[in-house]
Amino acid sequence: MICRSFPVCSTQMERKKAGMKCVIFAGLPAAPELHSWWADADYVIAADRGYDSLMAYGVNPDLVVGDFDSLGEVPNHPNVIQLPAEKDDTDMVFALRQGLDLGYRRFVMLGGVGGRLEHTLGNLQLLDWLATTDFYTAPASTRFHGACECGLVMHSINVYNVLMSRFYTEEDNKESFTLVSLLHDLCKANYYKSGFRNVKNDATGQWEKVPSYSVQDAFPFGHGEKSVYLIERFIRLKPVEAIAIRWHMGGFDDAVRGGSYAISNAFDEYPLAVKLHLADLEATYLVEKGTSSVNRR
């Protein structure tokens, strides 16, 4: 599967969509009492067997995606994306990425709860907490990569794309790869303050207001270690996941620059830590080159 970069929220239409709601139906039935959750949807995506649920409720989705192993057939619908059976993403995750690519930032996901109860509750609590932060709209930096609205979530998805396309194999744990890549920079939620600064236009000689971001850390607890702390309030990390997130900054980490040698042992013992660091570098310096809306002068 070809992985596409997450779009920067830059156009007027994308900014409008950022406030609109995309509903995704997965394979498990959604109770009719939840009708109000999808009745006012601006865009509806069916993920595989979620198509049957929507048809039962008389809802025609805007898009249908999946490998359709659960549905048993490719639905007769004008807008279908059929996925291969062997793929990096689940049908639900692919549907979510399609919504993100279309510019949506508000999602309702129905029929997707299952598996171990403690993990499900932790995931839901984490998502609920994220909604109280600026994670989905914050920049990824003050003036370098992703210094723009939605830059942080853009960067997180780009790191996921690079990590999966470059380093993931069938022997690896897909859940661990997904978790460390999407949440490694959770420490940047409620970390930046947006504003403006005056910059002289060389062509006109006039002073102009341009976007700017500054650090205003609401919880000064470090970087990688802060992400680990925040995640573990909701989800119990495996040691390999905690180590990878803790040291994802590599040599840029403050502890390393201060003389700590712990990162050497971490990289020796946990290959995922090395892979996450490399994916972070590639996303930052190659994939996201030119994504800053801030003049670096």
Measured CA to CA, the distance from residue 186 to residue 241 in angstroms comes to: 14
The residue type found at 66 is G
pTM confidence score = 0.68
How high is the pLDDT of residue 5? 34
Whether 124 shows a pLDDT value over 50: the answer reads yes
To 10 degrees, the CA torsion angle through 264, 270, 276, 279? 80
- Nearest-angstrom CA–CA distance, 272 and 248: 10
The DSSP call for residue 221 is S
What 8-state DSSP symbol labels residue 280?
Answer: H
Q: Does position 142 have pLDDT exceeding 90, yes or no? A: yes
Residue of 1, 24, 18 whose CA lies nearest to 154? 18
Strand partners, 107: 22
Ramachandran angles phi, psi of 5, nearest 5°: -70, 150
Q: 140 near 155, Cβ under 8 Å? A: yes
Query: What CA–CA distance (Å, rounded) separates 4 from 65?
Result: 16
Given a contact cutoff of 8 angstroms between Cβ atoms, the answer to whether 47 and 24 are in contact is yes
- Burial (CB < 10 A; 0-12, 13-18, 19+), residue 185, is buried
The pLDDT > 90 percentage for the chain reads 51
Which of 143 and 181 is assigned the larger pLDDT?
A: 181
CB-CB contact of 283 with 151 (8 Å): no
Provide Rg for the chain, Cα atoms: 20
Eight-state DSSP code of residue 5: P
Q: How far is CA 103 from CA 22, 119, 154, 182, in A?
A: 10, 28, 11, 18
207 Cβ contact list (under 8 Å, min separation 6): 198, 199, 200, 201
Under the banding of pLDDT at 50, 70 and 90, the label for residue 26 is: confident
**Rounded mean pLDDT of 119-133?**
81
Both tokens assigned to 164: 């999966």
Q: Which region among 115-119, 132-136, 243-247 has the lowest average model confidence (pLDDT)?
A: 115-119
Q: Is the pLDDT of residue 276 over 90?
A: yes
3-state helix, strand, coil in the chain (%, to 5): 40, 15, 45
